[in-house]
Amino acid sequence: MYETKRWNVQAVDQATKKADIKAAAALIQDNETVAFPTETVYGLGANALSDEAIAKIFAAKGRPSDNPLIVHIAERQQLHQVAKTIPPIAQRIMDAFWPGPITVIVPAAPEIAQKVTAGLDTVGVRMPAHPIALDLLKYAGVPVAAPSANRSGKPSPTSADHVAYDLNGRIAGILDGGVTGVGVESTVVDTTGEKAVLLRPGGISREQLIELLGALEEDPTLGQSDAAPRSPGMKYRHYAPEAPVYLVKDPEKRLPSFIKKEKQTGKHVGVIATEEHLEAYREADVITAMGSVKDLTSVAQRLYDALRKMDQAEVDVIFCETFSSEGIGLAIMNRLKKAANGRIL
């Protein structure tokens, strides 16, 4: 067990902020684990060149060892430590969207720890668009592998409090940079073939990628439990609170009857919904808003917090609205389907 150090770098002067981030970077240099904010969710970082360090990520999270990790860098010159080569498709994506919420799968450099790639000959790499993350990576001076900073299978953390709830005592430190912006993890694109292949939808939309590249394929094994994962988020049940989650199509008409039926059996019912529809579900025991139906970016930002609030409320069953798969909606529905383990009403 660790005595987890926590630095709040939001409301401090620049000198203190710099010193705190450098202290966190020193832990990474010592092959320890540190949670830090990115523009997507909080990541749990460790030296991507050290199997000893990476083993501590898997131990803290309880993460399956065949689930690969994404490597984070602060500068393009670090790519030679991560990637054996940079495919042209990857170069185009980097030029368009880095720093930003997108990961490219490239041939792995031999220096990368085997535990990072889960035995694959490829690796995911991204440059986050968050000033605290970039400073941490620069001061650490090594590529940093960083999955989401939560216990494996649970909703990803979008605040330092979420991280502390899951991992306090299990990691060396937490950099508290406030609430994250995008709210869902990075888009992941395999760039090692002739065509770009979407492995995980995220902060950069499918439509943006098609506009850039002209074409984009989707991996046919996406979400299949028997497929070897080529990227985080592909194989295992993810983002799930304790109670079972059910996604409801046409929810305003159908969800009230589902609430009534479950309450008649004595269950404590939770509903996750958009702000405009809360009144329609007033019979539920717990109702949590996750943004506006008119602005799906707000839904993405609040999705994981809403799932975590249902755990805190200790409900027996959770119903959730569904969304269009346009833009960021594709990433939202990808995460919700995994949280629900495919249960759609």
**Going by C-beta distance under 8 Å and a sequence separation of 6 or more, which residues neighbour residue 210?**
216
On the 0-12 / 13-18 / 19+ scale of CB atoms within 10 A, 279 is exposed
Query: C-alpha angle 46/101/14, rounded to 5°?
Result: 65
> Is 186 assigned a ligand-binding role in the annotation?
yes
> Is 292 assigned a ligand-binding role in the annotation?
no
Please give the backbone phi and psi of residue 274, each rounded to the nearest 5 degrees, phi first. Answer: -80, 160
> Is 156 assigned a ligand-binding role in the annotation?
yes
> Is 40 assigned a ligand-binding role in the annotation?
yes
Task: Count, in order, helices (H) and strands (E) of the chain.
Answer: 11, 15
175, 135 contact by CB (below 8 A): no
The DSSP string of 151-199 is STTSPPPSSHHHHHHHHTTTSSEEEE--S-SS-SPPEEEE-SSSS-EEE
125, 93 contact by CB (below 8 A): no
> Is 239 assigned a ligand-binding role in the annotation?
yes
Cα–Cα dist 151/165, whole Å: 9
Beta bridge partners of 289: 273
> Is 67 assigned a ligand-binding role in the annotation?
yes
Amino acid 56 reads K
Sheet of strand 217-218, all strands in order from the earlier edge strand to the far edge: 5-8, 173-176, 34-37, 42-47, 144-145, 70-72, 122-126, 102-107, 187-190, 197-200, 217-218
> Is 205 assigned a ligand-binding role in the annotation?
no
> Is 146 assigned a ligand-binding role in the annotation?
yes
Cα–Cα dist 234/241, whole Å: 18
Cite the annotated binding site for L-threonine by residue number: 40, 72, 122, 126, 146, 186
Residue numbers in the known binding site for ATP are 63, 67, 148, 156, 200, 239
Binding-site residue numbers are 40, 63, 67, 72, 122, 126, 146, 148, 156, 186, 200, 239
